Amino acid sequence: MTYTSVQYSLETIRDEARELLDRGVISRNQPIYTLCQYIPTRDWICVEGELEACDFLLRDRIGDLVGSEKWDND
* pLDDT tens per residue across span 39-72: 999 999 999 999 999 999 999 999 999 987 655 5
Distance of CA 58 to the CA centre of its chain: 10
pLDDT value of residue 7: 79
- Residue 22 clears pLDDT 70, i.e. is over it: yes
23 belongs to a structural domain: no
Domain count across the chain: 1
Asked if residue 13 belongs to a domain, the reply is no
12 domain residue, yes or no: no
Tell me what pLDDT residue 11 has: 96
Whether 3 maps to a domain, the answer reads: no
At 5 the pLDDT is 58
Number of neighbours of residue 62 by Cβ within 10 angstroms: 21
Q: With respect to residue 43, please indicate whether it lies within any of the assigned structural domains.
A: yes
Residue 27 has pLDDT above 60, yes or no: yes
| pTM of the complete model beyond 0.75 | yes
Judge whether 74 lies within some domain: no
Domain hosting 51: range is 32-68
Cα 64 to Cα 2, 5, 14, distances in angstroms: 36, 27, 10
Instruction: Note whether residue 58 is domain-resident.
Output: yes
Q: Is 4 within a domain?
A: no
